[in-house]
Chain A
Amino acid sequence: DSGVTQTPKHLITATGQRVTLRCSPRSGDLSVYWYQQSLDQGLQFLIQYYNGEERAKGNILERFSAQQFPDLHSELNLSSLELGDSALYFCASSERLAGVADTQYFGPGTRLTVL
């Protein structure tokens, strides 16, 4: 058990809908990362938050947004969903923002299926 929790585990929804994925980092970790795993692709970095502030963005679609709350949990919001958004979404956490070789600890992921 990595100490990172994600809910829900599975989500099935229809095109055009909006969903929210939730992540609680390990105790003491200030950085939260979101990654997307699509078919035939490696884990792709989406966005990083550190202590409540957005600090780095990857190839995250404009339809996607995220935030980190004062208690450090994070939510990833996906809207106007398309079939191609079906993927496994991982949250990871680490102690620090940058500049060190911190281990990132991964949650169990949320599998999103868009029908």
Chain B
Amino acid sequence: ILNVEQSPQSLHVQEGDSTNFTCSFPSSNFYALHWYRWETAKSPEALFVMTLNGDEKKKGRISATLNTKEGYSYLYIKGSQPEDSATYLCATNYGGATNKLIFGTGTLLAVQP
């Protein structure tokens, strides 16, 4: 059984705070790590896909890093805004004959104005 774990489960921060979350995954046979942002009543929105150890991706105030040897990824949000409030999901893909994703349970971020 491949378990993807995310921490913390939820996070409440003030507007302007910087924050980060963790995604842990089994490192053997790893192929790709995906981050999604999911607002209530909307579709999960793809943020990043990373495959190589040491990968870093950035999109505006949001960035992510990947460590495939120890099996973790960090998502950072700099200067959180209320519109960043959402559930952040990570998912892994172990390659092979399918690109199916194995998701963690997500980190719920609430940013107070």
Contacts and interface: CB of A to CB of B under 8 A. Distances in A.
Interface of A: 2, 4, 31, 33, 35, 40-45, 48, 55-56, 58, 90, 94, 96-109
A102 B99 contact: yes
Q: Is the interface of A mostly helix, strand, loop or mixed?
A: loop
A45 B36 CA distance: 15
Given A4-B43, A45-B101, 5 more contacts: A35-B101, A43-B89, A44-B103, A101-B49, A108-B43
Contact of B34 (A31, A55, A103): A103
Contacts of B106: 42
Contact of B100 (A42, A58, A103, A106): A58
B81 interface: no
A106 B102 CA distance: 14
A101 B97 CA distance: 13
Interface residues of B, number: 29
Interface string B36-51: 1000011111100111
B43 A104 contact: no
Interface in B93-107: 93, 95-106
A98 B43 contact: no
Contacts of B49: 101-103
B99 A104 contact: yes
Interface in B74-113: 89, 91, 93, 95-106
Q: In this complex, which of A56, A94, A103 has the most chain B Cβ atoms within 10 angstroms of its Cβ?
A: A103
Contacts of A55: 97-98
A101 B31 contact: yes
A96 B98 CA distance: 9
Nearest to A6: B43
Given A42-B4, A42-B106, A101-B51, A106 B99 contact: no
A98 B96 contact: yes
Contact of A56 (B34, B41, B91, B97): B97
A42 B103 contact: yes
A101 B92 CA distance: 10
A48 B100 contact: yes
